Amino acid sequence: MHADGPGWIFEMGEGVIRAMRHVHMSPTDVDFYGVKAGDAMKLKIGGPCGITLDRMLVRVDKSFKLEVHIDTDEGNACNLQPETPCELMK
């Protein structure tokens, strides 16, 4: 695998990269939830297969809208659907 980015190159002969679960927040969102960049939050996912995911890394940027990023396997494990109720917690 070969990835180019601004000022860097990453080459990996074999293996897998898995993004850490995280939440994108604007400065307004950070104020609302009482957190800061680098903090960890929990995501409570409801429904018949409900779970709570710990250690949701908070990422902050003025261009971000509130958005949670989890792994596909995590979403599938709890049968996450567009209408599934979710709650971010400190």
By CB atoms closer than 10 A (0-12, 13-18, 19+), residue 33 is middle
Q: What is the pLDDT of residues 13-68, one digit of tens each?
A: 898 777 899 999 999 999 999 999 999 999 999 999 999 999 999 999 999 999 99
pLDDT at 1 over 50: no
Q: What is the pLDDT of residues 2-15, one digit of tens each?
A: 455 566 777 888 98
The identity of residue 71, as a single letter, is D
Q: What is the pLDDT of residues 50-65, one digit of tens each?
A: 999 999 999 999 999 9
For 25, 47, 78, the CA distances from 5, given in Å and listed in that order, are 23, 39, 34
> What is the phi-psi region of residue 79: left when phi exceeds 0, alpha when psi lies from -120 to 50, beta otherwise?
left
Residue 10 confidence (pLDDT) = 74
